[in-house]
Chain A
C-alpha cells in the first residue's frame, strides 16, 4: 500500500480533539514555569506558600471560567477520578444519611468513567442502577426520567447525566433533568468534560450539585481535572490522607498542573463564542464534503446546531458496509488521526454502547467514525481529510465484504 508513515511521527491532521487536545502554548509555559519550583502547597514556609498561591490562583481562575466559587473546585487527577468521586462519594453519603437511598439513575449513553463506577456500586455496594433510555439522537428520554423519579423518590441516591456526549456530541436537557430531580430532593452530577470550552457552561446557573471537568480536553495538561462540588454537598472521599481539598481528595496538590489547567481554561472559555462559530463552519464543510464523497453515510446524533443540541466541532458518521476500524487504520496510514469513538483498554474494538443505546444495530454501530475538531483544527485539515476519505471508504467497504465477521 502507499507510504505508511512512521507511527512515531506526529500525525499531520489531528481530528480527535474529543479524545484529547494538543496543549496550548500558554498551558505548556505555565506547567513548565512551576515544574522546578520547590514547595508543597500544604507546607507553611515560604516555598509552600508560593506553591499554595499558584494552586489557589489557578482554582480561582478555573472557578471564574465555569461559574463556580473557588471553594467549590476540588482538584483531581482528571475526569475519571472526578466522576468516581462524584458518583461513589455521593452514593455513599446519601445512603449513609438514609439507608433507603440506593437507586441511581443515569442515561445509558454515559461515559465509562461514570457507567463503570455505577456498575461497580451495583455489584459491590448494593446500588440499584437504572440505565435510562435515550432517543435516536442520543438525548435522555425525559418522560422516562420523570417516571423513574416519581416512583418512591426517597429511594433515589442520585442522578448522573452528562452535559454533552463524547461520541456523538448530543447535549442532554440538563436544565430539565436538574429541575425534575430537585423537585424530589435528588442531587444531580454531570460529566461536563466535553462541554467546557465548547458550550456555555455555568455551574451556578445550571443548578447542578456536582460537575466534572478536565484540563486536557480544552488545551491543558493530561492529569489535571476537577470536580465542582456545591458547598453544602457531602461526599464520602475515595482517597484518605492529608485532608486536602475539603477532605474530599487527599494528596499533595499539583501546583504545575493546576497552573496549566487554569492557563488553558481561561482562554478556552473566553474565546469560546468565536471558536464555536469557527468550529461550526469547519464542521459544516466537513459534513458536506463527507456526504458528497460517500453519499450513503448516516450522521449520528442531534444534527441541529446550537449549544442546546450538540457540540460544535464533533461529527459521528456511519459508513454503511465499512468497519470503523478499517477506516481509522486507512486514514491513520495517510496521517489523519480520528477515532471510532469506542476505544477499549484491551484494544479489542467493541460496538459503541452509545450508538447501540440510540437504536443502531451492531453493524451500524461498528461502521461509525468520530471526527472531532478543536482549537488546532484548520481548513487544511478538512481538505486533507476530504482528499483521502473517498479512497479509504472504498477500500474499507471492500474489506467489509470479506469474511472477518460471520
Chain B
C-alpha cells in the first residue's frame, strides 16, 4: 500500500473478496527523507501515514517492510548504472521484477500468505497454459507494460483487483468507502527522484562526465556535462546553439557510453523499424516467433511487428517505423490484449533497404 488511492481500493476489494488481507507499505529507504523531500511520493512519511489510515479504515493489519537494501541495489543502482551505460532504464519495471513480485512476494509466501495484491491496472485471466496477463479495461491507466517482465510463476501469486475498472470509478469508490486518499493526486514521476530532476539526480551520483554533442558526420556541435542528461529521441535541452542548415529540429539519435558522445540528427534519422532485445521473459510458454504488437515504452502505442526469438536474443521487425526507441527500455510483446513476454531493448535501427519490386 503506497499511500495512494489505487492500492487502498485494491486492498478494500481484496477484503471484500473474502481474503485475509494484511497491508504492507514498502519502505524504500531507511531514512524517509533520503530519496524524496517536500514533494509527495511513494516513499515519504506522509504516504506511509496515508497507507496506515487506509488500512485502519479497512480494519486490516498494517506493516512497513524495509526493502531499502534491495531497492537501493536492484532499482536505484541499476537505474544509475544504466544511464551511465548510455541506456534509458525503466525503474518501475525493475521494481516489479525484483522487488514487488520477487523479494516481497518470496517473503510473503514464506510467511504464509498466498499472493501479493497491488493497485496496478492490468488483468489476470485464466488461460490454457495458466494465468494470462492482459491490458487493463481502462486504456488510459493500463500498466501491463511495466508488468510485462513478470513470469507466469510470479503472476500465479499476483492479484490486480483494479484491472476491470476505470480510474475515475476507483476514485468514486474510494470516496464512498471513506478512504481519505480518494482525492490524492496520482504520482507519475520516478518515486525516488524528489523533484523530477532526473539529470540532477544522476549528476549527484555520477559526477560530471563531460562529452561532445556531434552530428552524424562527426562534426562537434556542442559539449555537455554528462550524457545521462540525454535520452534517445529527446529534442529539448540539447545545449547546441547552432541551428541546422535547413532550420529543422534535431533529436538525440544515439549515446556512446564510453566517451559520452551524443549524436544528434533529424527526426527521420530517428525512425527505426528493427528493434533488438535481450533476456526475454515470458508470461506463459516461450515463443520462437510471434506476429502481434510490441510496445516500446510506457504509454507508447502498440506497434504491429514480427518478433523472431533466438535463445537469449530477439529481433522485432516493425511494420511501420517508430521514433525514439531507447535502449534500456522494455519491449513488451502483445497478442491482442494479452502480454506474451518482454525483453530489454539493446539496439534499434533501420533495416536494410528492401529491393525495389
Residues facing B in A5-21 (CB within 8 A) are 6-8
Known: A403-B70, A406-B69. A347 touches B52 (CB 8 A): yes
Comparing A223-231, A324-332, A372-380, the segment that makes contact with chain B is A324-332
**Does B323 have its Cβ within 8 Å of any Cβ on chain A?**
no
Known: A8-B59, A348-B27. A404 touches B70 (CB 8 A): yes
Chain B contacts for A403, CB-based, 8 A: 70, 102-103, 106
Chain A contacts for B45, CB-based, 8 A: 346
**Does B35 have its Cβ within 8 Å of any Cβ on chain A?**
no
Closest Cβ neighbor of A6 among chain B residues: B59
Known: A347-B25, A347-B48, A405-B70. A396 touches B111 (CB 8 A): yes
Residues facing A in B202-242 (CB within 8 A) are none
Question: How distant is the Cα of A333 from the Cα of B104 in the complex, in angstroms?
Answer: 18
**Does A3 have its Cβ within 8 Å of any Cβ on chain B?**
yes
Question: How distant is the Cα of A396 from the Cα of B62 in the complex, in angstroms?
Answer: 17
Residues facing B in A347-362 (CB within 8 A) are 347-350
Asked if B110 and A4 sit within 8 Å, CB to CB, the answer is: no
Asked if B112 and A406 sit within 8 Å, CB to CB, the answer is: no
Q: Could you give, for residues 95-120 of chain B, a 1 whenever the CB lies within 8 Å of some chain A CB and a 0 otherwise?
A: 00000001110110111111000000
Cross-chain contact of A399 among B20, B27, B68, B111 (Cβ < 8 A) = B111
**Does B32 have its Cβ within 8 Å of any Cβ on chain A?**
yes
Cross-chain contact of A1 among B55, B70, B106, B113 (Cβ < 8 A) = B113
Asked if B32 and A402 sit within 8 Å, CB to CB, the answer is: no
**Does A401 have its Cβ within 8 Å of any Cβ on chain B?**
yes
Which of B32, B63, B107 has the most A CB atoms < 10 Å from its CB? B107
Closest Cβ neighbor of B33 among chain A residues: A346
Cross-chain contact of B69 among A3, A333, A405 (Cβ < 8 A) = A405
Asked if A404 and B67 sit within 8 Å, CB to CB, the answer is: yes
Asked if A399 and B107 sit within 8 Å, CB to CB, the answer is: yes
Asked if B32 and A329 sit within 8 Å, CB to CB, the answer is: no
Q: How far is the CB of A315 from chain B (nearest CB, A)?
A: 22
Asked if A1 and B112 sit within 8 Å, CB to CB, the answer is: yes
Q: Could you give, for residues 44-68 of chain B, a 1 whenever the CB lies within 8 Å of some chain A CB and a 0 otherwise?
A: 0100100010011001111111111
Asked if B27 and A347 sit within 8 Å, CB to CB, the answer is: yes
Known: A1-B20, A399-B107, A399-B111. A349 touches B59 (CB 8 A): no
Asked if A7 and B56 sit within 8 Å, CB to CB, the answer is: yes
Question: How distant is the Cα of A395 from the Cα of B61 in the complex, in angstroms?
Answer: 18
Question: How distant is the Cα of A348 from the Cα of B107 in the complex, in angstroms?
Answer: 17
**Does B73 have its Cβ within 8 Å of any Cβ on chain A?**
yes
**Does B37 have its Cβ within 8 Å of any Cβ on chain A?**
no
Total number of A residues with any Cβ neighbor in B under 8 Å: 28
Q: Could you give, for residues 72-113 of chain B, a 1 whenever the CB lies within 8 Å of some chain A CB and a 0 otherwise?
A: 010000000000000000000000000000111011011111
Question: How distant is the Cα of A402 from the Cα of B112 in the complex, in angstroms?
Answer: 13
Question: How distant is the Cα of A398 from the Cα of B52 in the complex, in angstroms?
Answer: 26
Known: A1-B20, A4-B61, A8-B59. A330 touches B110 (CB 8 A): no
Inter-chain CB contacts under 8 Å: number: 89
Known: A347-B25, A347-B48, A402-B103. A395 touches B70 (CB 8 A): no
Known: A4-B61, A7-B61, A8-B59. A404 touches B107 (CB 8 A): yes
Closest Cβ neighbor of A4 among chain B residues: B20
Chain B contacts for A350, CB-based, 8 A: 30
Q: Could you give, for residues 84-110 of chain A, a 1 whenever the CB lies within 8 Å of some chain B CB and a 0 otherwise?
A: 000000000000000000000000000
Question: How distant is the Cα of A372 from the Cα of B19 in the complex, in angstroms?
Answer: 32
Asked if B61 and A333 sit within 8 Å, CB to CB, the answer is: yes
Question: How distant is the Cα of A332 from the Cα of B22 in the complex, in angstroms?
Answer: 11
Total number of B residues with any Cβ neighbor in A under 8 Å: 36
Residues facing A in B305-335 (CB within 8 A) are none
Question: How distant is the Cα of A8 from the Cα of B55 in the complex, in angstroms?
Answer: 11
Asked if A329 and B63 sit within 8 Å, CB to CB, the answer is: yes
Question: How distant is the Cα of A133 from the Cα of B48 in the complex, in angstroms?
Answer: 35
Cross-chain contact of A395 among B48, B68, B73, B110 (Cβ < 8 A) = B110
Asked if B32 and A348 sit within 8 Å, CB to CB, the answer is: yes
Q: How far is the CB of A256 from chain B (nearest CB, A)?
A: 28
Cross-chain contact of B73 among A330, A333, A406 (Cβ < 8 A) = A406
Chain A contacts for B67, CB-based, 8 A: 404
Known: A4-B20, A7-B60, A346-B27. A404 touches B103 (CB 8 A): yes
Known: A329-B111, A348-B27. A7 touches B32 (CB 8 A): no
Asked if A330 and B112 sit within 8 Å, CB to CB, the answer is: yes
Known: A346-B32, A403-B70, A405-B70. A398 touches B110 (CB 8 A): yes
Chain B contacts for A347, CB-based, 8 A: 25, 27, 48, 52, 64
Asked if B106 and A402 sit within 8 Å, CB to CB, the answer is: yes
Chain A contacts for B111, CB-based, 8 A: 1, 326, 329-330, 395-396, 398-399
Chain A contacts for B52, CB-based, 8 A: 347
Closest Cβ neighbor of B102 among chain A residues: A403
Q: How far is the CB of A123 from chain B (nearest CB, A)?
A: 17
Closest Cβ neighbor of B64 among chain A residues: A347
Asked if A7 and B103 sit within 8 Å, CB to CB, the answer is: no
Question: How distant is the Cα of A330 from the Cα of B48 in the complex, in angstroms?
Answer: 21
Chain B contacts for A332, CB-based, 8 A: 61
Asked if A2 and B56 sit within 8 Å, CB to CB, the answer is: no
Q: How far is the CB of A116 from chain B (nearest CB, A)?
A: 15
Q: How far is the CB of B122 from chain A (nearest CB, A)?
A: 24
Asked if A349 and B20 sit within 8 Å, CB to CB, the answer is: no
Chain A contacts for B68, CB-based, 8 A: 348
Q: How far is the CB of A305 from chain B (nearest CB, A)?
A: 34
Chain A contacts for B112, CB-based, 8 A: 1-2, 330, 395
Footprint of A on B, CB under 8 Å? 20-22, 25, 27, 30, 32, 45, 48, 52, 55-56, 59-70, 73, 102-104, 106-107, 109-114
Question: What would be 14 A-B contacts, judged by CB atoms less than 8 Å apart?
Answer: A2-B112, A4-B22, A7-B55, A7-B59, A7-B62, A325-B65, A325-B66, A326-B111, A329-B61, A347-B27, A347-B52, A402-B109, A404-B66, A406-B70
Footprint of B on A, CB under 8 Å? 1-4, 6-8, 325-326, 329-330, 332-333, 346-350, 395-396, 398-399, 401-406
List 19 additional A-B contacts (Cβ < 8 Å) besides A4-B20, A7-B61, A326-B111.
A4-B21, A325-B63, A332-B61, A333-B61, A346-B48, A348-B66, A395-B111, A395-B112, A396-B111, A399-B111, A402-B110, A403-B70, A403-B103, A404-B65, A404-B66, A404-B70, A404-B107, A405-B69, A406-B70
When A and B form their complex, which 3 residue pairs have the shortest distance between CB atoms, in order from nearest? Answer: A399-B110, A402-B106, A1-B112
